[in-house]
């Protein structure tokens, strides 16, 4: 990495696991990014998670559900390799995205699914921890395509509301 690129990195004050990288377009072509050494996520959505076992309450393997496949790489980085993470992308046309990200991340303890959340309800008491990162704010879409901001409206939010409340 060149010195001027390193100068474009700023730690996120609320996270020990993330930085703001101001030269995003170049990052997409970086071999380390392509190999899965890092992932892009909106800094405003970045969670600081403690390992579920860090407080000593959990001493056995756990099963974790990321119901919207929004934080799977982050979750995988804080769970044990003996734990199971199910990353569920609700929208079929987008299911390949978390699958590719998980493959790049090199996570052997993650299963990517494409199920309606109502179907996952049949697995009552199966998961020890569940995360729902909803509704989608389209911030990552706007970051990639600034012209997409014209698609945002209160009407669009209301259109999505039934999807996020069922």
pLDDT tens per residue, range 59-105: 688 999 999 888 888 888 888 899 999 999 988 888 888 888 888 88
Same domain? For 59 and 97 the reply is: yes
Alpha carbon distances (Å) from 119 to 56, 91, 116: 32, 14, 5
What b/e sequence results for 20-46 when a residue is b if at least 16 CB atoms lie within 10 Å of its CB, and e otherwise? ebeeeeebeeeeebeebebeebebeeb
Residue with the bigger pLDDT between 38 and 164: it is 38
Q: How many separate domains does the chain show?
A: 3
Residue 166: the pLDDT is 46
Taking every pair of C-alpha atoms in the chain, what is the biggest distance, in angstroms? Answer: 52
The whole-angstrom separation of Cα 78 and Cα 120 is 23
Q: Which of 49, 69, 54 shows the shortest CA–CA distance to 113?
A: 69
Torsion angle in degrees (nearest 10) through CA of 91, 97, 102, 103:
130
What is the tens place of the pLDDT at every residue in 37-62? 776 666 655 655 655 655 566 668 89
Cα separation, 19 vs 11, in Å, equals: 4
- Residue 19 vs residue 7, higher pLDDT: 19
Q: Residues 78, 17: one domain?
A: no
Q: Taking the model in full, what pTM does it have?
A: 0.63
Where is the domain boundary, 29, 46, 63?
46
**Which pLDDT belongs to residue 162?**
57
Q: Which domain holds residue 36?
A: 1-46
Average pLDDT of span 19-34: 71
Asked if residue 93 and residue 54 are part of one domain, the reply reads yes
Do 111 and 166 share a domain, yes or no?
no
Element (H, E) at 162: helix 154-165
- What contacts 48, CB < 8 A, 6 or more positions away? 14, 15, 16, 17
């Amino acid at each position: 990495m060149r010195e001027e690129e390193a100068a474009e990195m700023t730690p996120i004050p609320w996270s020990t696991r993330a930085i703001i990288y101001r030269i995003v377009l170049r990052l997409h072509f970086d071999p380390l990014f392509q190999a899965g050494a890092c992932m892009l996520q909106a800094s405003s959505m970045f969670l600081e998670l403690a390992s579920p076992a860090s407080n000593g309450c959990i001493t056995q393997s756990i099963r974790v559900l990321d119901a919207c496949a929004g934080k799977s790489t982050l979750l995988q980085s804080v769970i044990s390799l003996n734990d199971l993470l199910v990353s569920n992308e609700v929208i079929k046309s987008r299911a390949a995205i978390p699958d590719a990200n998980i493959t790049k991340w090199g996570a052997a303890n993650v299963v990517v699914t494409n199920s309606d959340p109502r179907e996952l309800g049949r697995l009552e008491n199966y998961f020890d921890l569940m995360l729902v990162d909803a509704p989608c704010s389209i911030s990552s879409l706007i970051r990639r395509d600034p012209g997409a901001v014209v698609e945002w409206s209160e009407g669009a939010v209301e259109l999505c509301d039934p999807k996020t409340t069922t």
